[in-house]
Amino acid sequence: MADNKINNSFFKKNRTKLFSLLPEKSLAIVHSNDEMPRNGDQFFKFRQHSDLFYLSGIEHTKTILALCNNHPDKNYREILIATKPNDAYFIWYGHQPDKDELRKLSGIQTIIWLEDFEVILKELIFYSVNIYLNSNEYIKLIPDFKDRNHRFALELKEKFPLHQYYRLAPFISELRLIKEKEEIELIKEACAITSKAFYRILKFIKPDVYEYEIEAELSHEFTVNKSGGHAYHPIVASGLNACILHYTENDVICKDGDLLLIDFGAEFGNYASDCTRTIPVNGRFSERQKSCYQAVLNVQKKAMELFTIGNTIDNLNAEVNKLIENELILLGLFSREDVNNQNPETPLFKNYYMHGVAHFIGLDVHDVGSKQSVFEEGMVVSCEPGIYIREEKIGIRIENDILITKDGPINLMKNIPVEIDEIENLMKK
């Protein structure tokens, strides 16, 4: 993070909410992310585990949060375990926070150093009846390694086999789904920075620039606006590349006459934005490109009206699939008769639209929450229909971030141009 620190009252509130969900005599333990090896003696840039950040505000490696809700010693109800500062670390890597700084960041009063954790852990374990351990439960994630939370769970079960162990993730996910006002403001700022980056690249894009040059322009705008960087690796996909849903090579020349699909979003205060726009490389849509683009935009406008309290992503997908199917018929890609005769297990629209229309957004760009989660006020959800016609080298996706409110959906990206005329006029300039 740059200058976007969150007041520790936010993290205190999150811990209080978690305590209210746990039964008496419970111990919950959350670990920081691992430092991920890159090559040689190098690591990738560290990004804190979203759950640990949500509960503590701490962004440092090798950090542990232990919460023991009913411990008779109040000093043991919230404990932050961190690495003790030392001169050698400072010489090579810089400042490490001391106990007073950690208290100020997190609002947690009991800070112990990692070397003393083993003794404190036994005190907490032997008092507690229920042990809640954290894990990443995102359905599509299938990692090749066991992360710090996973390794700790295996070690703990071996050391203390007679305790009862439970999943903490469902409780944290329930809390993270509904955003507090502080979170919504951070997401709004991330969207605002993303908007600035889009206006920047509209002035830059022209035939014969490389996709990676456009990525560099995005990165520059994010950095100068105090963003934490990209919320995810951007997709800058021209021509046929736009039909590759997770294309990230970004190394091809943008050709005159092609469309350019850009899926990008700034991160601010560790909160994500997620935007997709599709624009003509030469500044003018062809008639066929206009028809396809307007078809996607028609679907998005109708879909955004459905982002209301009580709905679900599953329901949205069902409705959007029908809308997409109708637009594909109007585009001449198949007929209503073809639809009537299709195999319902492999519907024709799937040849041109292969993904869902929405996912939750928050500390993770694909945030916690399932397709069956019922929309409530304070949730932030993407809306991203698309059409991909490989044989015509046309790939179009339009994506906005939507805030669910009791007064209806709010488009957090309403200031990012989306209409054909607006995009073409801006690119003229």
**Could you say which residues of the chain have pLDDT below 70?**
1-4
| Cα–Cα distance measured from residue 279 to residue 242, given in angstroms and rounded to the nearest whole number | 11
Identify residue 269 by its one-letter amino acid code: G
Identify residue 67 by its one-letter amino acid code: L
User: Tens digits of per-residue pLDDT, 262-299?
Assistant: 999 999 999 999 999 999 999 999 999 999 999 999 99
Could you give the angle at the alpha carbon of 142 between the alpha carbons of 137 and 143, nearest 5°? 105
What is the dotted CATH code of the domain comprising 8-176? 3.40.350.10
Say what the pLDDT of residue 249 is.
97
Q: What does the chain come to in residues?
A: 429
C-alpha dihedral (264, 33, 186, 171), degrees to nearest 10: 110
| Cα–Cα distance measured from residue 1 to residue 24, given in angstroms and rounded to the nearest whole number | 36
Say what the pLDDT of residue 2 is.
47
Say what the pLDDT of residue 4 is.
55
Going from N- to C-terminal start, the domains of the chain cover 8-176, 181-428
| Among candidate residues 10, 5, 111, 11, the one with its CA nearest the CA of residue 66 | 111
| Cα–Cα distance measured from residue 267 to residue 365, given in angstroms and rounded to the nearest whole number | 9
Right CATH number for 181-428 from 3.40.50.300, 1.20.140.10, 3.30.2310.20, 3.90.230.10?
3.90.230.10
| Cα–Cα distance measured from residue 115 to residue 79, given in angstroms and rounded to the nearest whole number | 14
| Cα–Cα distance measured from residue 331 to residue 293, given in angstroms and rounded to the nearest whole number | 11
What is the maximum span of the chain, computed from C-alpha positions, in angstroms?
75
Identify the sign of the CA torsion 43, 45, 46, 51. Answer: negative
| Cα–Cα distance measured from residue 262 to residue 170, given in angstroms and rounded to the nearest whole number | 33
The torsion region of residue 229 among left (phi > 0), alpha (psi -120 to 50) and beta comes to: left
- Contact between residue 324 and residue 297 where contact means Cβ atoms under 8 Å apart: no
Average pLDDT score over the chain: 96
- Contact between residue 127 and residue 68 where contact means Cβ atoms under 8 Å apart: yes
Residues 6 or more apart whose CB falls under 8 angstroms from that of 356 comprise 313, 316, 317, 371
